[in-house]
Amino acid sequence: MNAYENIEAYIQGDLSDVETREFETALHRDRELADEYHLRKDIEAALMDDDLSEFKDQVQDMIREKESRPVVWFKRKAVKGALIGALVLSLSSLGYYAAHVNNAPTKEEIFHKYYEPYSVTITDRSGSHEINNLLTHAMEKYKEQDYDQALHLFQRVLQKRDDVAASLYSGISYMEVQKYQKANQSFEDVVEDRDNLYLDQARWYMSMCHIRLGNMEQARNMLSTLAAESDYYREQANEVKGKLDRIEQK
């Protein structure tokens, strides 16, 4: 089975640990595969939206009727038209819809819908010129998505001084290379510092790591803290927590 055939299995969390690592390595190296994966991920996210209930009802009607007559078209909601059109063209049968329209989202679906790397901001900092140059270089590598090199440089900064920015971006870089336990350790350094500008971001990405690792209770606790204390992440935290609750009820 090639990497393209593994996309749906990866999104659904059906690959083994070895297959997952192999697929994620291919994903980082193959731009066309990444583009196809992101299209499928957007489709999965669309199917999770509450405002697609009308579409889901139509699909269920089509499934019930497909034995008696061929289905040649269906009405699509205008706001989701282009995305649903892509979905219809990319899936081979209505059986796929039947497996998804009523199910709770998986932790993989939630992770891939809500996770994206934090944007980088490169600013002049006070302190050692040498260390600041290292940090700037690390940020540049991060922005270029050269996460292995960025990690190496962030760690050099952290060997010389405590730096919450270096810890936060190290954590996200670890996530990008699928080292989620190490990522959480970096985020924990930011959270323990407490009095810094990256506290909410560290908590958010910790919750994403916990979801990816299947630590649902820890993820809920972190999301509850964000929902109570963060103006920026409150809405997203409540959304994700609600979807985790649906998994629990599944």
Domain limits, the chain: 4-103, 129-249
The residue count of the chain comes to: 250
The yes-or-no verdict on residue 36 having pLDDT over 70 is yes
pLDDT at 101: 46
Percent of the chain with pLDDT over 70: 71
- The CATH-assigned architecture of domain 129-249 is Alpha Horseshoe (1.25)
**pTM, entire model:** 0.61
Mean pLDDT of 178-194: 94
- Average pLDDT estimate for 55-60: 56
- Per the listing, tokens 């190490």 go with 182
Q: E strand or H helix at 22, and its extent?
A: helix 17-29
Mean pLDDT of the chain: 79
8 Å CB contact between 123 and 165: no
Kindly state the helix (H) or strand (E) to which residue 82 belongs, with its residue range: helix 81-90
94 or 131: which leads in pLDDT: 131
Q: How far apart are CA 11 and CA 13, in angstroms?
A: 6
Per-residue model confidence (pLDDT) at position 128? 65
Rounded average pLDDT over 40-69 = 58
Long-range contacts of 26-29 (CB under 8 A, 24+ apart): 27/3, 28/176
Whole-angstrom CA distances from 204 to 37, 81, 114, 138, 225 are: 23, 31, 10, 22, 10
Give the C-alpha separation, 142 to 189, whole Å. Answer: 19
Average of per-residue pLDDT across 150-179: 96
